[in-house]
Structure formats: structure tokens, C-alpha cells
Amino acid sequence: MEIERKWLIRKEDIPFDLESLPNYHIEQRYISFHPSIRIRDINRGEKYILTVKTKAPENTDQDISRNEYETSITPEEYADLKELCRGNVILKRRYLKRDDYGLMLEIDLFEGKLSGLAYLEIEFSSETEANKYTDPPWVLREVTHVPDFKNAALAKNGMPGEIR
């Protein structure tokens, strides 16, 4: 299960040097939006991943928690699956940094049609931990519960209206 929160950020407000952090390029495509089935090309052919995300079990926060299955696929499988994709391709660079609590901060700076959009995402070990986490002071606002800011919605609909 994936337990994750997401915040809208501005690159200029990030309080550390992104270029000093480990990072990688992501090309993300969707085969299906419900359930969410996506493929990713990491660093232009370094690795290919197939991910399926479905609703989390009952008694969980459906915006924070989802079932997730992820597996590596071959370049040939990626090429075949790419033919099934629909919606917009999401291009982004992901930067990684541990915070003072040991949590991994994933900072996504979008490219192409979504250029200018930037997120902070954090995965947690439990919903309790996620709900206790205090928003970093440099974020604009949390968008975990805003459907237009889900990656599948970005692929399907493009830039959220309130950002355009």
C-alpha cells in the first residue's frame, strides 16, 4: 500500500540546492485512468516500470492511501504497452532529499505541457504518521485531496485550471 501526501510548491521557494541532490528523469504514460495503470521510462531507457494503483481497503483515507503494485518491465514490453496509452505524456525531473525526520522528500519539477508545475510528495509508513506530519513552511498548499492534482488527472486533463 502507498500512503502519500502531496503539496504544490514553487521552485524558487525550495530551501536547498536542487542541483546538489540525486535526481532522475521520468516519462510517464497512462494505459488506464480507472484503475490507474501507468508505465514509466526512467532516465530515457535506464529502467522501465509498470504500476497499477487501485483504491485502498475500507477504513482508510482514500486520498492518502492506495493499493499499489509495481514491477520492472523490459524495453520491448514498454514499447508494446506504449501503443495502448492515452492522454498526455507526463515529463518531470524528480529530486530526492531526506528531511530531518528521515522521510524521503520527492520534489517533482514538471516539463513540457506542465512546465512550471512543481510538487513535493512524501510517502509515509502509516496514515497516523501521514496525518501527524506538519506541512513544511516553504510549500504553497497541500493538494493531496484535490483530484485535479493527481498525476492521472494531469495526464488526462493537462494543467489544473487554478494554475493556468
Report helix, strand or coil for 80: helix
pLDDT in tens, the chain (164 residues): 999 999 999 999 999 999 999 999 999 999 999 999 999 999 999 999 999 999 888 777 778 999 999 999 999 999 999 999 999 999 999 999 999 999 999 999 999 999 999 999 999 999 999 999 999 999 999 999 999 999 999 999 999 987 65
List Cα–Cα distances, 3 to 30, 73, 87, 126, 129, in angstroms: 21, 24, 25, 7, 9
**Cell numbers placing 11:** 521552485
SS3 assignment, position 113? helix
Q: Are 23 and 96 in contact (CB under 8 A)?
A: yes
What CATH class is the domain 2-157?
Answer: mainly beta
Among candidates 10, 14, 160, which has minimal Cα distance to 96? 14
- The reply to whether the predicted model has a pTM over 0.85 is yes
Evaluate whether 1 touches 56 at the Cβ level (below 8 Å). yes
- Please give the pLDDT value at position 44: 97
Q: What is the pLDDT of residue 143?
A: 97
